[in-house]
Amino acid sequence: MSLWGGNLPVPHFTPRSWNTLAVMEDSLRDMDRHFNRMFRDVNALLRDLPRLTPNEVLGTESEIVTEGDQKKFQMKLLLGEHFTPENVKVTMKDRLVTVEAKADLMSEDGSSRLYQEITRKFLLPEKLNMKEVKSIMGPDGILKIEAPVPPGALPEPPKPKEIPIQLE
């Protein structure tokens, strides 16, 4: 019969099991292995995602749009649905457009509050009709800044050129 009662085996301790630093070292090695596996898995997932451009991350998009025979520059800025024209201010000095927006919303029961403030600055392209710049905001929280492009301001797109193939 053992000192521990019943037929249980007597625990034995090796010198290593008494070494606290060795136990910590083993634990840290296990954690390191788990983190490396986690980073490998996350990197594998991220590798399959499409690459985002800085404009996509910031929620901006600009392009030349044609309506009939008139071309206009259009920039779209995603502010968010909680912004309204009343709490968005757009100013322009020379070609520099500044968008300042503030939203301060309280939940119906008063238990939570959303406060957001955005300031973004953009430099409009040269050769736009700066006197006719306008801003339009939709219910989806997208602010559009538009300016007409005068005729002849844009270079003509290059015409495709056929390159003959030579036989070796």
By the 10 Å C-beta count (0-12 exposed, 13-18 middle, 19+ buried), 75 is classed as buried
Contact 132, 147 (CB under 8 A): yes
- Determine the average pLDDT of the residues in 48-76: 72
Has residue 70 got a pLDDT over 80?
yes
pLDDT-based confidence at 90, cuts 50/70/90? very high
Cα separation, 17 vs 66, whole angstroms: 77
Per-chain mean pLDDT for the chain: 81
Lowest mean pLDDT among 3-7, 28-32, 42-46, 84-88: 3-7
